[in-house]
Amino acid sequence: MASRRSRPRIWDTDWLILRQLAAGLQRALATQVPAGSTIVDLGCGDMPYRDTVEAMGYRYRGADIVPGNDLLIGPDGRVDLADHAVDAVLSVQVLEHVPDLPAYLAEARRLMSDEGVLILSTHGTWLYHPHPEDHWRWTRTGLEKTLTQNGFRVEAMTGLVGPLATTTMIRLTGFSWVLRRLPVVGPVLAGMLAAIMNARAWAEDRITPEQLRETNACVYLVHARKARA
């Protein structure tokens, strides 16, 4: 599962968004985080981006509410690290699952050095997916306002996958769920359908006007820094 998220295959139902997200994260890291920096992945799950981050020359530390990672996020939402201990906080498809946004973003701020950067992605439009909870979706302006109200200054925000391709991906998710329940041939048929519909979604995204994609994205990728007092 971890490798699929960072290196998706065209027969995966969310191939289009995962490939764009992986590429976008690498660009953001390369341009915003100095080599040799320490990065905390705040809500890392099964750490799908660890290999990528370490291959780029960074020190990676995964933090989650589930024991077994580098760092444990405690019941109070805090990580056992000193204030300003890291150069960057990575938050990949976590924010929509967080019930207490101010507490989560405050911990990200606490961990970051004064010149540190938050690299964050979250959903604009997508299906309900509790892991274990699912609370939020954002417009572009709503996400910027949420971050601004919690002490961040958004430097850049990119929309990944526009509305035409998103609707195709949503249909593919539904069809695949049904097909994979069929015995023997179900997974094969689901994979074949995914390859066809992913190719269609790729073409749809290529013809979507940039302005439409930037204001109606499936996922927004942001880099932000602490707001100055």
pLDDT tens track for 158-172: 999 999 999 999 999
Which helix (H) or strand (E) element contains residue 196? helix 186-207
Rg (CA), the chain: 18
What is the C-alpha separation between 207 and 94, in angstroms, rounded? 29
Q: How confident is the model at residue 36 (pLDDT cuts 50, 70, 90)?
A: very high
Which helix (H) or strand (E) element contains residue 161? none
Q: How confident is the model at residue 131 (pLDDT cuts 50, 70, 90)?
A: confident
CA-based nearest residue to 39, from 82, 110, 90? 90
Alpha-helix runs per DSSP H in 61-209: 101-111, 140-149, 163-179, 186-207
CB neighbours (10 Å) of residue 140?
17
CB neighbours (10 Å) of residue 88?
25
What global pTM score does this model have? 0.95
- Tokens representing 129? 């997916």
